[in-house]
Amino acid sequence: MTLDHLSAWENCLQTIRKSINAQSFKTWFEPIKPIKLEDSSLTIQVPNNFFYEWLEENYVGLLKKTIRQELGPTGQLEYQIFVENHTRTGHNGGPTERRFYSPEHIANPFVIPGIKKIKVDPQLNAKYRFENFIEGDCNKLARSAGKAIAKNPGGTAFNPLVIYGDVGLGKTHLAHAIGNEVVEKFKQKNTIYVSTERFTNQIIESIKKNSVSDLVNFYQSIDVLIVDDIQFLSGKTKTQEIFFNIFNQLHQLGKQIILTSDRPPKSLEGIQDRLISRFKWGLSADLQTPDLETRMAIVGSKLDDEKVTLPQHIIEFISYNVKDNVRELEGVLVSLIAQSSLNNKTIDINLVKSVVENFVTGISKEITIENIKQLVSDHLKVSVEKIQGKTRKREVVMARQLSMYLAKHHTNSSLKAIGDNFGGRDHSTVIYSCKTVEDLIDTDPLVKDALHELEKKVKMSLSGMKS
Q: What is the mean pLDDT of the chain?
A: 82
Alpha-carbon distance of 314 to 310, in angstroms, equals 7
pLDDT tens digits, 18-48: 888 887 788 788 888 888 888 888 888 887 6
The set of long-range contacts for 104-108, using a CB threshold of 8 Å and a minimum separation of 24, is: 106/214, 106/217, 106/218, 106/221, 107/211, 107/214, 107/215, 107/217, 107/218, 108/218
Task: Assess contact for 118 and 152: CB atoms under 8 A.
Answer: no
Give 76's strand partners: 41
Residue 446 clears pLDDT 70, i.e. is over it: yes
Residue 390 clears pLDDT 90, i.e. is over it: no
Which pLDDT score, from 0 to 100, does residue 171 have?
92
Alpha-carbon distance of 274 to 115, in angstroms, equals 38
Which pLDDT score, from 0 to 100, does residue 361 have?
58
Task: Give me the domains of the chain, ranges plus CATH numbers.
Answer: 5-98 (3.30.300.180), 130-287 (3.40.50.300), 292-356 (1.10.8.60), 369-466 (1.10.1750.10)
Confidence of residue 289 (pLDDT cuts 50, 70, 90): confident
pLDDT tens digits, 208-254: 888 888 888 888 889 999 999 999 999 999 999 999 989 988 998 88
CB atoms within 10 A of CB 152: 13
| Position with higher pLDDT, 276 vs 39 | 276
Alpha-carbon distance of 297 to 329, in angstroms, equals 11
Q: Which of 181, 205, 330 is nearest to 258 (CA)?
A: 181
Which pLDDT score, from 0 to 100, does residue 315 have?
83
pLDDT tens digits, 132-164: 898 888 888 899 999 999 999 998 889 999 999
Least confident of 16-20, 117-121, 193-197, 371-375: 117-121
Q: What is the mean pLDDT of residues 275-301?
A: 87
Q: Find all residues with CB under 8 Å of 305, minimum gap 6, and list them.
A: 132
Least confident of 103-107, 174-178, 373-377, 396-400: 103-107
| Position with higher pLDDT, 224 vs 82 | 224
Residue 466 clears pLDDT 90, i.e. is over it: no
| Position with higher pLDDT, 161 vs 290 | 161
Residue 402 clears pLDDT 50, i.e. is over it: yes
CB atoms within 10 A of CB 447: 18
Task: Assess contact for 349 and 387: CB atoms under 8 A.
Answer: no
Task: Assess contact for 130 and 147: CB atoms under 8 A.
Answer: yes
Percent of the chain scored above 90 by pLDDT? Answer: 28
Residue 460 clears pLDDT 70, i.e. is over it: no
Residue 89 clears pLDDT 90, i.e. is over it: no
pLDDT tens digits, 15-24: 999 888 887 7
pLDDT tens digits, 306-351: 788 888 778 878 887 787 778 888 888 888 888 877 777 778 777 8
Q: What is the mean pLDDT of residues 370-377?
A: 87
